[in-house]
Amino acid sequence: MQLFYSENITEDWAHFTREETKHFAKVLRLAHGQTILIADGKGSHYSAILDLTCQPAKAKIIEVFDQVEQRKKLIHIAVAPTKNIDRMEWLTEKATEIGFASLQPLWCERSERKQLKEDRLQRIALAAMKQSGRAFLPDIKPAMRFSEFILQERTGGKFIAHCLPDGNKIDLMHSSVKSLQEVTLLIGPEGDFSASEIAQALAAHFAPVSLGPHRLRTETAALVGCMQLQ
């Protein structure tokens, strides 16, 4: 059964946006009274009866499937947006299919892209969540400068992947990392983090990690990191 999304679910009803209502009626041509499956983006699915008599549409909840997807850990990926926006969109889609908690775009010293439409990335994440049948919707955060991000307080393990030689790098697949319940992983732009940014991260207690022996593209590194942490 196709999965739909509602961020506004009360005790008995799931409410949809006008955009989703149009998708029901004009694109999918769903019928009034049809049973549909809904995700709330927070871990639960709902079986509901579609009501197309009101605008926007809503659906009467008939069954709740609590925590259909158990999150073993919270994975936060902070990454410099790629120059080619298609690669950033690909990362958002694939990481959502794999499963992660949030994506934080970072403006770094060597960032080649200067603008980003976070709302489009959020729509891509939503489509990927519905297509893959997941119950959690990742949070696509507004882009911010690396220097501001690195000063924020955050819980869990904090790691930075970079390409400079560093004898202190931890293998991201190491059991001590994989056992953490919450992780933030920094991934740099195509030209890697600058020496200054790496120093800032280390000063903020981000541990350097290795994703493997090969140099990876930004979006590949972020996805590999997400997979290894899972």
- Say what the pLDDT of residue 165 is: 84
Tell me which residue of 43, 42, 50 sits closest to 23, measured CA to CA: 50
Q: Where in the sequence is the domain holding 36, given as residue range(s)?
A: 3-65
Band the pLDDT of 159: cuts 50, 70, 90. Answer: very high
Statement: residue 130 has pLDDT above 80: yes
Do 13 and 116 have their domain in common?
no
pLDDT tens digits, one per residue of 28-75: 888 899 999 999 999 999 999 999 888 899 999 999 987 777 777 899
Do 79 and 42 have their domain in common?
no
Do 57 and 87 have their domain in common?
no
The CATH number of residue 12's host domain is 2.40.240.20
Band the pLDDT of 122: cuts 50, 70, 90. Answer: very high
- Say what the pLDDT of residue 19 is: 86
Answer with the residue of higher pLDDT: 5 or 230. Answer: 5
Do 172 and 107 have their domain in common?
yes
pLDDT tens digits, one per residue of 167-178: 788 888 887 887
- Say what the pLDDT of residue 34 is: 92
Query: What are 131's two structure tokens?
Result: 């297509």
Do 84 and 193 have their domain in common?
yes
Do 210 and 167 have their domain in common?
yes
Whole-model pTM?
Answer: 0.90
Tell me which residue of 152, 223, 154, 213 sits closest to 187, measured CA to CA: 223
- Say what the pLDDT of residue 124 is: 97
Count of domains in the chain?
2
The phi and psi torsions of 150 (rounded to 5 degrees) equal: -65, -20
Do 98 and 131 have their domain in common?
yes
List Cα–Cα distances, 67 to 48, 92, 134, 136, in angstroms.
Answer: 17, 23, 11, 10
- Say what the pLDDT of residue 219 is: 96
